[in-house]
Structure 1
Amino acid sequence: MSWLHIMIFIPFIFALFVPFVYKWFTPQVHTGWFVLAAPLAVFLYLLKYIPTISAGEAIRSDLPWMPSLGINYTIYIDGLGLIFGLLITGIGALVVLYSIYYMSKEREALHNFYVYMLLFMGAMLGLVSSDNILVLYVFWELTSVSSFLLIAYWYQRKNSRNGAQKSMLITIFGGLAMLAGMIMLSMVAETYSIREILSSTEMITADSLFLPAMILILLGAFTKSAQFPFSIWLPDAMEAPTPISAYLHSATMVKAGIYLVARFTPVFGGSAEWFWIVSSVGLITLIYGSVNAVNQKDLKGLLAYSTISQLGLIMCLLGVGSASLYFGYGDESTVYAFAVLAALFHLINHSTFKGSLFMVVGIIDHETGTRDIRKLGGLMSLMPVSFTLTIIGSFAMAGLPPFNGFLSKEMFFTGILTVTESPVFGMESLGLAFPIIAWIASVFTFIYCMILVFKTFMGKHRPERLDKEAHEAPIGMLIPPMILGGLVIIIFFFPNVVSKYLLQPALIAVLPRFAETGGIDVNITPWHGWSTELIMTIGVIGFGVLMYRYLRKWSPLYGYFPQVLTLNHMYNQSLAGTEKISLKLTKKYMTGFVRDYLVYIFTFMICLLGSALWLSKGLSFDSSNDAPIHVYEGGVIVAVLIAAFTVLLAKSRFTAIIAVGALGYLVTLFFVIFRAPDLALTQLVVETVTAALFLLCFHHLPELRKERSSIPFKVTNLLISLGVGTIVTLIALSVNNHRLFESISGYFEDSYSLAGAKNIVNAILVDFRGLDTMLEILVLCIAGLGVYTLIKLRLVGREKE
């Protein structure tokens, strides 16, 4: 195992020790100080790869897992993986530091909190660094499980449990769809390696599985990144503690879908289907999130919908930029590639200002006891540092200078305008809709950013509405958002440093054809002259100020939207309907009769295996090598059939038991005929004991009485018995004629020389499988002792009575 693998597994390693640290050192020392070392160590370790990766190289390390199946845990870190790795560990370290002051070590189960967070951190690191698609899927689902635990951390609250359930159902559904798509890709490319799949683009594009695989993978990405209409889980996930919200829902988990789309753009990008689906869903999510954010009364709810909106913006840019692969080489390809660069830039910017805002909202909640905008106001003088940080984060999200969001928002407008200036995939008629919708969404973004600042910190302070006396947070809680707020400003003044060392290598990972030119030559500056983008920004500010000024007059329009048509209502109704249908269905087949359950099982077996035999090509039954059937063997077969039908048609238990015993003894005759005396003796003893036990047990059972069953007995028994017997016989005959591997009987041919046994069966049972046989005997001994103990206790109880 390489050092790279060890660093990726560090969060999991730390998670093993967290319960012991919590037990030994709490309440003297906060557990977070121990946990902080994990993300900080990985972050510093990844920093050393920046020069290497910015030079056009990638880091790779192999760890064999199941090499015979072509499944290994191969770590591959390129420019795209590096950005996500730095965000996961960097934001993770700041969130852990923030949680030390936010989470009370006296009142909270910190060992659970930090174990869940480290599991999530490790899963995200594994996800963005895995080269094997099956390993990636394992980490993908681990993020869903760990986020479920984090969202339901305060499991005593009903809303927390419901939010965790909703996120789990939606993201797991998408994960299973994604797995199916990835399996299709591996079937076409004949490999599980993402690197090799990316090099097989032409073969995948020409295959009939191209479109189904694309749709299934996008389902996984859209559900994880809260794209419309799967975005309903994100607001409900705000029931988690603020450090969790700041980590999962601003910088990491919701970005996993973005990573997936960016990673597979080289495979599916350049196709009209990918362009339309990704860009359209992103644009709809952008407008949906921004419009709904304005109507929120809870600060975390506002940030949740703003996150949905910003994720839609990034997704839309990735969809638009994928058209670069359609043009090949040339100026038009470079123009569309600029949209991908803007997406990557906004990915970083969003993590900085949204992480800072979540932390500030957590501070407001922590120090005032409420997040309700209607109760807040006038906090500017009481919480000046929080106010300053809110201005930095909100104005960056609104796209105002001098903050990094202004730069990526201008690049967003440039990327969206590309579809009107250089139409592709039928954009000649619909291209104008893209910048119009983007501009409207930006106006609403500006409005909810102003709400966040002015409704919280301006106006009249009403302490009677607050649960606590408002005051500034301790310095330890302010340091993490201050670091992120500082990055917001620093990136604005030095964007090309980020572009050179992070954005350009990531662009090459998303659009590999630019590897020859080292990316695209772009100089990110705040001022580009009087351009269309600047005019759009001025329009956003002007119209946004006007709409915010008259917010009370037009905001009641939200109340006219019918609740029946909301996505949450549809989800709740579908969940309730599914539960009702499943309850009715369960009552239908859960009859309480074991026989009914066996009927279902055997019927499914007949249908499944029978259809498989029917559809199998090249299936044949060769009896040329079979031994001839003698008259006495035929007589035994007839006797077996008679005994079997007697069991089937018996009207009393006694008759059925005798028929079953006779059937067992007739099987013993087959062992004698086939010269297996040891098996015959074993069968004879077992059958005698079994028949005796059956008679003893049934003697003490109540009289047989007719029970109401939805399935007629005798005809069904006959049909199912014949069906199962026929299917098993056909499978046995077909298997005997279609040997895929060499028989293992040759391995036991020298049993006499190896084990000194003249009987090969005895040699297998006693020597070759001696340990297995000993354990089977041990199980029988334990079962016998248990039966003896129960009988003894029953007899002792009767004596006492």
Structure 2
Amino acid sequence: MIYAVFAPLVVTLLIPLISKWKEKIHTGWFLLPIPFLIFLYFIQFAGENFTPKSEVYPWIPSLDISIDFYLDGLSLLFVLLISGIGTLVVLYSIYYLHKSEQLKQFYIYLFLFMFSMLGVVLSDNVFVLYTFWEFTSLSSFLLIGFWHHREGSRYGALKSMLITVFGGLSLLAGFIMLTVISGTTSIQSMIEQTDVIVDHPYFPLLFVFLVLGAFTKSAQFPFHIWLPDAMEAPTPVSAYLHSATMVKAGIFLIARFSPLLGQEPIFFAVISVVGLITLFWASFMAVRQTDLKGILAFSTVSQLGMIMAMLGFGTEAAIFAAVFHILNHATFKGSLFMIAGIVDHETGTRDIRKLGGLMTFMPMSATLAVFGVFSMAGAPLPFLNGFYSKEEFLGATVELNQYTGGFLGFLQEAIPYIAVIGSIFTFVYSMYFFFGTFRGPFKEKELDKKPHEAPVGMLISPTILVLGVILIGLFPNAVNEPFLAHSAEAVFGGDIHAHLKFWHGFETPFIMSLIIVGIGTILAVTRKKWAGVYNIFPRKGFNEVYNFVVDSIENGSKKITETYMTGSLRHYVAFILTAIFLICFSIMIISNGFAFDFSQTADITIPEILVGLVMAIAAIATIFTTSRLGAIITVGVVGYGLSILFVLYRAPDLALTQLIVETVSVALFLLCFKHLPELRKLPSHPGVKSTNSLIAICFGGLMTLIGISAHSTKLFSPISDYFLEQSVPLGGGHNVVNVILVDMRGLDTLFEITVLGIAALAIYGLIKLRHNKGAK
């Protein structure tokens, strides 16, 4: 499995080379086989006798973190969607994106996202899952902002990243708590300790952290606001991220942890309520949109809410319906996104107010849209897969009976009505999308170019998806036993037996479907008469809250930054030294770190005292000197005085090193003497000088005390003994310092020299640049 997962990542390294031939052959043709081969590899595992498989690759054993891949029915479903839809998206993008586009960047971002999603759904280690999770946020940010010259693309990319990364950090907190409570980083091992985790007093907090991560990623109310703005991405991105993959990552997370969390009433209450609110609100607001992809965006949010609600129900029927709808939604929504892209590509607009009557000019696209739209609407037609999962959903709402009385009992009774209302608006926006685009009067003057049917190549991908809609609708049990049942069992935590058929009799779910179709048809036909109700609701709503929060953070951080970013080097040094003093001194006091032991120090003689006094006088003189040359000389006196101290304390190697360093430093100062700034006196305000003096005395005193304490504290045996003993056997030299630098720390020394060499080249480049500018 590891080769299949990392294949897209490896391909990203080759894309820059492949893209060089894009003028002759579209880059997508080289990359198309990769997701298809991944799909073929994983499809072989599907079957009635499928059993979970796992692979373990050590990574950070000290932290119990290994790359654990676990393939069960649930992860198999998502892997096939990621690779299968990914194949069709790459094929679609070949015809959608012109060769003049930045294809290299696009496919690098796309395959990085594919790699990230494969890692999310296959990881059994929570921290590896989190790593892939954040990679999806990063790569989706790059994909949404692909057309970065557009302000809308930049805004949508930033919004999606801020919201999903906020959820990701919440998810990390939940994973850390799970690891601490269970003592393991394996998801399957955590599920085996369900009782221990659920009974823990911090379980409610842990639950909140996990669901926040899921809700933000899967655009649940009120975090749904990022998804419509993400529609600024190219249509292949929308078809991939926002129908089949990224937005379902939160769904996957809830499904994966359902065996652990699903037994608690809080799970039913929170997941079901949020899912139903999302279903209703998004379906209601979808009818308000005028952009084709905007309609589909709110439609996606609505459908995700329905799936989330079904997972919250937790019953066998609801979980099977949720898994079934994950598959169905990917087929019909992926095709509709591609159709919307085709309309935009061939007419120059996605504004439904300018569209209409396109069936005459785009018959193939309109035909494909019919199947996708009516499947999304859940119309009671036996050859559309959307009806089956919608019927299963309605049936699951009326079969809830695990709670009696109280809020949960009331919620349980209200769920069927909320489901019907939300589904009615689902039917309305579905009809609005199709009839507003392909039927009605043709508005030739509103279009930028004369519409015509898309190239055959662009129609292949949506055609394959629509064939999936039809084939699953005609033969639903062909994907049930070998595929869906295993997925549902992985979520339910037990055996699931479901037989799919179109006609269950004239029962409650079918009556609910008739009500949805009947009222939905009336509302769709009379939409213009009641659309004024949307004027009651603010057009931006929660987006205003997001904008206010982001603007407040930016303005607040700007004000805080301006208080210390004054442009004064003296202020910066003062801030840094003060912070170091306060932190270090506090820690030393709290930990009783100060220790003073002079029993093993050398005796101080008259020569050392004299040299020390000279160094102190020279150091103080640098403060009062008004001459740049005098400052350089006095600083040199301090350095040479230190060399003399090394000689007096019998450290000739250090003395020679200090002499060389000091000589080079003084020489460099003198070479740059002409370019040094004039010395300026400190402000005459007495508070400035006293503040600087206080900071200097405190910081210097602290460093002195820390030095004495470090010498006086012997927590471990000195490492110098090891170097002294091994200098000759290992390094072959009696000069211990040189042996340490050349042999024992040879690699460090090599990189230090490399850094100095790079710095020298950079300085030389700057000098040449300045010289060339001066020559001009």
Superposed pair shares fold, TM > 0.5: yes
Q: Which deviations, in whole Å up to 9, do the C-alpha atoms of 1:327-384 show, x marking residues without a partner? A: xxxxxxxxx2332222111111111111111112222222222222122222233333
Structure 2 CA distance for partners of 1:272 and 1:686, relative to 1, 3 Å:
same
**For structure 1, which segment, 140-149 or 179-188, has the greater mean C-alpha deviation from structure 2 after superposition?**
179-188
Amino acid across the alignment from 1:49: F
1:682 Cα deviation after fit? 2.9
2:269 and 2:408 in contact (8 A); partners too: no
Query: 2:464 maps to what in 1?
Result: 483
Secondary structure of 2:223's counterpart equals coil
In structure 1, give the amino acid aligned to 2:625.
S
User: Which residue of 80, 95, 104 maps to 1:101?
Assistant: 95
Residue in structure 1 matching 2:59, options 60, 65, 86: 65
Correspondences of 1:135-284 after superposition (within 5 Å) = 135-284=128-277
Deviations 1:87-129 (A, max 9, x none): 0111111122222222233x43333322222221122112211
- Find the counterpart in structure 1 of residue 78 from structure 2: 84
SS in 2 for 1:712: helix
Most deviating of 255-264 and 644-653? 644-653
Shift of 1:735: 10
Give me the whole-angstrom Cα distance separating, in 2, the residues matched to 1:214 and 1:686.
59
Amino acid at match of 1:596: H
- Contact 1:646/1:656 (8 A) holds in 2: no
Q: CA deviation at 1:593?
A: 1.2
Give secondary structure in 1 for the equivalent of 2:224.
coil
Which of 422, 427, 433 aligns to 1:452? It is 433
Give the number of aligned pairs.
770
Residue aligned with 1:64, SS: strand
* SS of corresponding position for 1:548: helix
Once the two structures are superposed, what CA deviation does each residue of 1:189-238 show, in whole Å capped at 9, x if it has no partner? 33333333333333333445533333233222222211122211211111
Query: Within the alignment, does 1:412 sit opposite 2:393 as a pair?
Result: yes
Per the alignment, residue 12 of structure 1 pairs with 9
Give me the whole-angstrom Cα distance separating, in 2, the residues matched to 1:209 and 1:669. Answer: 63
Q: For 2:2, give the aligned amino acid.
A: H
Assess if the C-alpha contact under 8 Å between 1:609 and 1:727 holds in 2.
no
Residue 42 of structure 1, aligned match among 8, 13, 38: 38
Q: How do 1:366-381 residues align onto structure 2 when only pairs under 5 Å count?
A: 366-381=345-360
Alpha-carbon separation, structure 1, partners of 2:610 and 2:406: 71
Q: 1:586 aligns with which of 561, 564, 573?
A: 561
2:724–2:736 contact (8 Å) kept in structure 1:
yes
What residue in structure 2 maps to residue 327 of structure 1?
A: none
Alignment of 1:247-396 (within 5 A): 247-321=240-314, 336-396=315-375
**Distance change >3 Å, CA 621–CA 291, structure 1 → 2:** same
CA distance in 1, matches of 2:610, 2:207: 56
Q: Counterpart in 2 of 1:570?
A: 545
The residue number in structure 2 matching 1:324 is none
Confirm or deny: 8 A CA contact 2:611 2:644 kept in the other structure: no
Asked if the contact 2:277–2:305 (Cα under 8 Å) also holds between the matched residues in 1, the reply is yes
Q: Distance in 1 between matches of 2:424 and 2:765?
A: 78
* Matches of 1:104 and 1:64, distance apart in 2: 43
> 2 CA distance for matches of 1:472 and 1:791?
60
| SS of match in other structure, 2:221 | coil
Letter of the 1:581 partner, please give it: G
| Letter of the 2:409 counterpart | E
Structure 2 residue aligned with 1:763: 739
Deviation at 1:81, TM superposition (A): 0.8
SS at match of 2:479: helix
> What's the counterpart of residue 332 of structure 1?
none
Are residues 373 and 782 of structure 1, via their aligned partners in 2, closer, same or farther at CA, if it must alter by over 3 Å? closer
In the alignment, what sits opposite 1:328? Answer: none
Hey, what does 1:680 align to over in structure 2? 655
1:742 & 1:56 partners in 2: Cα distance?
A: 60
Per-residue deviation, 1:282: 1.7
* Residue identity (%): 47
The alpha-carbon deviation at position 466 of structure 1 amounts to 2.4
Residue 474 of structure 1 deviates from its aligned partner by 3.0
Task: Identify which of 681, 684, 691 aligns with 1:715.
Answer: 691
- Mapped contact 1:446–1:541 kept (Cα < 8 A): yes
Counterparts of 1:467-482 in structure 2 under 5 Å? 467-482=448-463
Indicate how the Cα distance of structure 1 residues 752 and 426 shifts in structure 2: closer, same or farther if over 3 A, else same: same
Alpha-carbon distance in structure 2 between the residues aligned to 1:790 and 1:381: 65
Whether 1:627 and 2:606 are equivalent positions in the alignment is: no
Question: 1:60, 1:74 within 8 Å by CA — same for their partners in 2?
Answer: yes
Segment drifting more, 112-121 vs 350-359: 112-121
- Change in 2 beyond 3 A, CA 1:767/1:752: same
Match of 2:19 in 1: 22
Distance 2:506 2:517 in 1: 16
Structure 1 counterpart of 2:225, which letter? I
Distance 1:612 1:43, change over 3 A: farther
Cα 1:266–1:706 change in 2 (3 A) is: same
1:12 is aligned with what amino acid?
L
Q: Measure the CA separation in 1 of the matches of 2:770 and 2:32.
A: 60
- Displacement, 1:47? 0.7
Distance 1:475 1:353 in 2: 19
Between stretches 574-583 and 724-733, larger displacement belongs to 724-733
Task: In structure 2, give the amino acid aligned to 1:472.
Answer: E
Partner of 1:333: none
Question: 2:601, 2:362 → 1: CA distance?
Answer: 96
Quote the residue 1:605 is aligned against.
580
Q: Say which SS state the counterpart of residue 750 (structure 1) adopts.
A: helix
Change (3 A) 1:788 1:176: closer
Decide whether aligned partners of structure 1 residues 561 and 704 sit closer, same or farther in structure 2, where only a CA change above 3 A counts. same
Aligned equivalents of 1:644 and 1:278: distance in 2? Answer: 73
Letter in 2 for 1:202: D
Shift in alpha-carbon separation, 1:63–1:625, aligned structure 2, 3 A? farther
TM-score with structure 1 length normalisation? 0.86
Contact 1:74-1:132 at 8 Å conserved across structures: yes
- 3-state SS, counterpart of residue 185 of structure 2: coil
Alpha-carbon separation, structure 1, partners of 2:602 and 2:637 = 22
Of the three residues 492, 498, 501, the one matched with 1:511 is: 492
Offset of 1:641 from its aligned partner? 12
RMSD of aligned residue pairs (Cα, Å): 3.7
Instruction: Return 637-646 or 401-410, whichever deviates more.
Output: 637-646
Give the whole-Å Cα distance in 2 for the aligned partners of 1:637 and 1:307.
81
Give the conservation status (yes or no) of the 8 Å contact 1:265–1:511: yes
CA distance in 1: counterparts of 2:435 and 2:768, whole angstroms: 80
Cα distance, 1:736–1:198 mapped onto 2, change above 3 Å: farther
Q: Paired residue for 1:329?
A: none
Map of 2:111 onto structure 1: 118
Structure 1 unpaired stretches of 5+ = 322-335
Q: Does 1:499 align with 2:480?
A: yes
For the residue of structure 1 that corresponds to 2:339, the secondary structure is helix
